[in-house]
Amino acid sequence: MLHTQCSQCGASAFARRSDGFIICTYCFSVYKLASDPNESTLIIKKGANVLIGKTASVTVHGGIQIEAGANVSIDGKLEIVERAEPEAVAIAKAKLEKQEK
């Protein structure tokens, strides 16, 4: 599981798509982690707990594969690939507000 916040609705639940992008499971905004597919790949396996803090200096050449069941917290930035529709963002925000109460 990827632990970061959606810049659109504020949710912290993402799913990995088969094309390597991640998608917010609330508003469906699509994000990517920059990588070069011609380089090596970092694989974080199920059960792993990884924290990359705000002041960390980490370089990964190639892709990052995060298996289901891995807990990963990235306090850096994600590049948005596809912005969700405004209606989907509003629905996601309302759903998150209900969960917080």
pLDDT in tens, 2-21: 567 888 898 888 888 888 78
Look at the chain and report how many structural domains it folds into.
Answer: 1
Its pTM stands at: 0.41
Domain that residue 7 falls in: 2-100
pLDDT for 1 equals 47
31 forms bridges with which residues in the sheet? 22, 80
Q: Could you give the C-alpha distances from 47 to 23, 54, 61, 72, in angstroms and in order? A: 21, 23, 23, 10
Residues of the chain with pLDDT under 50: 1, 36, 78
User: Cα–Cα distance between 24 and 12 in angstroms, integer?
Assistant: 8
